[in-house]
Amino acid sequence: MSLSAALNAARSGLSVTSRWAQTTSNNIANANNASYARRDPTIVSGHSGGVTISEITQAVNTSLDSMYRLEVSRTATQDAIATGLSLYTAQLGDTGSDVTLLTQLTDFQNALGLMAASPTDSSLQRAALTDAQELTLSLNLASNSLIDAREQALSSAQNDITSINTTLADLAKMNEKLASGKLSEGQKLALGDEITAKLDSLAEKMDFTMRTDAKGRMEIFTTGGTALLLGETAETISFDAETGVLSAGAVDITPGAAGARGIGEGSLAGQITLYNDVIPEMSAQLDEVAKGLISVFETSDVSLAPGEAGLFTDAGAALSDPVAAGLAARIAVNSALVPDEGGAVWRFRDGVGATVQGESNDASQLNAFVDAMAGKTSFDARLGLADSATLADYMASLIASQNTTRANAETGAETSAAAALTVQETRLGFMGVNVDDELQQLVAIEQAYSANAQVMTTVMSMLDTLLDSF
């Protein structure tokens, strides 16, 4: 090898070790950055016997990225449902609670039985009134809690939509940069990390699929196939609270909607599922309980004329047909039994429509109430519970079903979170930075630098010797 060739080889080696050291130090500096993909220089032999770095690559695995983002989306879906129902189900109670709608219904039913055994006892009548009022108040509170949960779901969905639209717009601008051809190698790598962070954030809100076009730009679609980002154009996501339709531009992407090419996972899907399906069904089931209570005491009260309200009312009125939604929020004890409202508790014994007291030991009306509560009542089978059951049995199935919905969502969120963590560990093992490995790289860089520097020193010494000889 000539002296000039040796000098060029050493000079190229120093240049390579300089870039190699810069890349390695950058890796170490970003060791705790979850969206940072490790940089690896590709060193190749040059034409004149030296070495060069042909490119610096990012450690990226698209399969692991997709798996991780899907599990994140699934976790967010179930977490949104579980969180959205937590306050309501706490109000509703469960099998471990001392006071639930079921225990209050049973307490009222037992109070009627005690009155039937002792119809002259006014203290039992007042106790029954208290139990009836507590039952209706709990139904009111539970229904209002569902109303609040639905409003919160809508607010959270709107926040998610704002975040998604901002992210898609940002990604469209990044696509513009990728297609411009003006980015340096370092800028491209940094933009790649920024894109990874944006996509990971987007996955929390919604599931999606992604591919890359010929210019290296992202193309993002819903899992149903609707385009969200093509080139530098992002669709705008919107939600119509009246119709319950989620749209990307003019395309229906509502989760769970028949025929929609939409999303299926993510916090947005969870909030819309709550708003469109879960909460309305739970509200309707509560309304069925209120409807059953009103109906049972209207049909079993012989003192009532047609169209008159019974022991329980729809905001003071008799049951209408059809019943307007939100009955559980309006159910109340008839003021004819409430002393503070000009009523009298003896109407438990004689019937709500009675104008004067009857025989003090006549328990026939009370027995009719007790029998009616113990008998089966018809319910709307389309709501997923029984079509015919006693009030207590229907209430028990309602509490069990609605608590199971929340519990299943919690379990689903925990399972998906564990899966996401497992995938992320593998993902970080591939793309992340191992500081020990990078420190070993620095040792190798130091050795390479010293060797190349020694070659240059030796060559320069030889050249000096040759020049001195002239």
Domain match, 156 and 238 both: yes
Domain match, 181 and 305 both: yes
Domain match, 95 and 53 both: no
DSSP strand pairing (233-234 vs 237-240)? unpaired
| Count of alpha carbons within 13 angstroms of residue 77, beta-carbon side | 22
Residue 425 in domain? no
Contact between 156 and 222 under an 8 Å Cβ cutoff? The reply is: no
Give the contacts of 106 (CB within 8 A, at least 6 positions apart): 392
Bridge partner residues of 45 (DSSP): 51
Residue 120 in domain? yes
What is the model's pLDDT at position 47?
65
Side chain identity at 126, as an amino acid letter? R
> Positive or negative, the Cα torsion across 291, 293, 299, 302?
negative
Phi, psi dihedral angles at 312 (to 5 degrees): -110, 145
What is the model's pLDDT at position 150?
97
Residue 429 in domain? no
Bridge partner residues of 378 (DSSP): 388
Q: Three-state DSSP class for 228?
A: strand
Q: Three-state DSSP class for 55?
A: strand
Residue 113 in domain? yes
Residue 428 in domain? no
Q: What are the contacts of 409-414 at 24+ separation with CB within 8 A?
A: 409/78, 409/79, 409/81, 409/82, 409/85, 410/78, 410/82, 411/78, 412/74, 412/77, 412/78, 413/75, 413/78, 413/79, 413/82
Owning domain of residue 35: 3-59+434-468
Q: Three-state DSSP class for 2?
A: coil
Q: What is the CA radius of gyration of the chain?
A: 36
Residue 397 in domain? yes
DSSP state of 361: T
| Cβ atoms within 10 Å, residue 345 | 19
Domain match, 163 and 179 both: yes
Domain match, 52 and 72 both: no
What pTM did the predictor assign? 0.84
Give the contacts of 177 (CB within 8 A, at least 6 positions apart): 183, 191
Contact between 9 and 50 under an 8 Å Cβ cutoff? The reply is: yes
Domain match, 39 and 115 both: no
Residue 399 in domain? yes
What is the model's pLDDT at position 81?
97
Domain match, 46 and 140 both: no
Round to the nearest angstrom and report the end-to-end CA distance of the chain.
23
**CA-to-CA distance for 364 and 371, rounded, in angstroms?**
10
In 3D space, the residue among 249, 253, 248, 201 whose CA is nearest the CA of residue 223 turns out to be 253
What is the model's pLDDT at position 92?
86
Domain match, 19 and 112 both: no
Domain match, 85 and 165 both: yes
DSSP strand pairing (233-234 vs 227-230)? antiparallel
pLDDT tens, per residue, the chain with 470 residues: 566 666 666 676 677 777 767 777 776 777 777 777 777 776 677 666 677 765 666 666 788 889 999 999 999 999 999 999 999 998 888 766 777 899 999 999 999 999 999 999 999 999 999 999 999 999 999 999 999 999 999 999 999 999 999 999 999 999 999 888 888 878 888 888 899 999 999 999 999 999 988 888 999 999 999 999 998 999 999 999 999 999 999 999 999 888 889 999 999 999 999 999 999 999 999 999 999 999 999 999 999 999 999 999 999 999 998 999 999 999 999 999 999 999 999 999 999 999 999 898 999 999 999 999 999 999 999 999 999 999 999 999 999 999 999 999 999 999 999 999 999 888 877 666 666 666 777 777 777 677 767 777 776 777 777 777 76
Domain match, 29 and 72 both: no
Domain match, 15 and 91 both: no
What is the model's pLDDT at position 21?
74
What is the model's pLDDT at position 49?
65
**CA-to-CA distance for 302 and 334, rounded, in angstroms?**
16
Contact between 81 and 278 under an 8 Å Cβ cutoff? The reply is: yes
Rounded to 10 deg, the angle between the 101-117 and 122-180 helix axes is 170
Contact between 17 and 448 under an 8 Å Cβ cutoff? The reply is: yes
What is the model's pLDDT at position 77?
97
Cis amide prior to 41 (ω within 30 degrees)? no
Residue 426 in domain? no
Contact between 263 and 77 under an 8 Å Cβ cutoff? The reply is: no
What is the model's pLDDT at position 438?
66
Residues 335, 338, 344, 348, Cα dihedral to 10°: 80
Domain match, 50 and 137 both: no
Q: Look at the chain and report how many structural domains it folds into.
A: 2
Q: Three-state DSSP class for 240?
A: strand
